[in-house]
């Protein structure tokens, strides 16, 4: 662990110690941080962890997630929430995003922040992290029916057919990464999250990294939490525009950008409301 990591771990330990000293209070509220993988959700969790009134559980935290990075059963999650002495218990169930509507329903008052990042930048970051394993996973979802992969859960038949068509001429790794971005971000509309304004806040990764103060202020206002200046210092400079030189199937790029525009319209409308 480097000096920065050690410092954050110490700060987290002190925060948790102070929380344990608080008198018993009403149960905490669950906050889910979601989005397509490589969209900046870990960065946002680190920022939220800097707030004194949160308890953050990353996917590696075995109290909230199993060895496959899936959420633990409801009874175990409820136990975490009931024992927490803070306002928000934060979890990042990226592999359970397809069940977010149900998760919001079983945790009273739960909220979610949905992080959107440029599809080409996500594709490049995904290729760098997972390589050919990503292509194999997307090909499996496209061609296996039934398919037991988590990306196939609650996948509309029409979307599976569109995926199979776009992957039918041979699938390179970068295009597979873009298709995964498309599948995961379409869930925002598949699950009607756009209609749940009081429960789900969509945010842009680019806004967070280019203007951390404004980005985190909007998130804390949505959560009803006072600002925490230290949270903004957890937001790094980010990497914007690195994927612009990727060579991808034109039809896939067009589909991703069309979805990105729909999501941006929702974010813009929320900003005007």
CATH at residue 31: 3.40.50
The separation between CA 222 and the C-alpha centre of its own chain, rounded to angstroms, equals 16
Question: Could you give phi then psi for residue 247, rounded to 5 degrees?
Answer: -100, 110
pLDDT at 10 over 70: no
pLDDT at 67 over 90: yes
Residues 22, 15: Cα–Cα separation, whole Å: 11
DSSP 8-state symbol, 70: P
Percent of the chain with pLDDT over 70: 94
Q: Please give the tally of structural domains in the chain.
A: 1
Segment 73-90, tens digit of pLDDT: 999 999 999 999 899 999
pLDDT at 120 over 90: yes
Segment 200-242, tens digit of pLDDT: 999 999 999 999 999 999 999 999 999 998 898 899 888 898 9
Average pLDDT on 188-204 reads 97
- Give pLDDT, residue 82: 92
pLDDT at 198 over 70: yes
Mean pLDDT of the chain: 92
132-143 and 157-166 helices, crossing angle to 10°: 130
pLDDT at 54 over 90: yes
pLDDT at 105 over 80: yes
Helices (H), the chain: 3-20, 41-49, 74-83, 100-106, 119-130, 132-143, 157-166, 173-190, 205-210, 212-223, 229-233, 250-272
Provide the domain limits for residue 250. Answer: 3-272
């Amino acid at each position: 662990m480097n000096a920065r990591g050690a410092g954050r771990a110490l700060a987290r330990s002190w925060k948790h110690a102070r929380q344990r000293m608080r008198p018993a209070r009403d149960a905490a509220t669950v906050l889910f941080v979601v989005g397509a993988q490589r969209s900046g959700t870990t960065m946002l969790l680190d920022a939220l962890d800097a707030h004194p009134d949160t308890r953050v559980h990353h996917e590696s935290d075995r109290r909230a997630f199993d060895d496959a990075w899936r959420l633990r059963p409801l009874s175990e999650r409820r136990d975490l929430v009931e024992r927490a002495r803070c306002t928000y218990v934060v979890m990042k169930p990226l592999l359970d995003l397809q069940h977010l509507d149900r998760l919001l329903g079983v945790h009273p008052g739960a909220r979610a922040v949905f992080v959107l990042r440029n599809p080409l930048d996500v594709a490049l970051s995904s290729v760098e992290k997972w390589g050919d394993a990503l292509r194999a996973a997307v090909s499996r979802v496209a061609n296996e029916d039934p398919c037991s992969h988590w990306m196939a859960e609650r996948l509309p038949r029409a979307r599976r057919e569109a995926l199979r068509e776009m992957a039918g001429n041979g699938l390179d790794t970068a295009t597979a990464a873009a298709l995964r971005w498309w599948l995961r971000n379409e869930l925002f509309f598949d699950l009607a999250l756009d209609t749940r304004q009081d429960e789900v806040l969509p945010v842009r990764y680019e806004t967070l990294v280019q203007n951390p103060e404004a980005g985190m202020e909007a998130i804390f206002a949505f959560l009803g939490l006072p600002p925490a200046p230290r949270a903004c210092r957890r937001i790094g400079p980010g990497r914007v525009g690195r994927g612009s030189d990727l060579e991808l199937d034109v039809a896939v790029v067009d589909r991703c950008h069309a979805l990105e525009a729909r999501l941006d319209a929702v974010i813009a409308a929320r900003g005007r409301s």
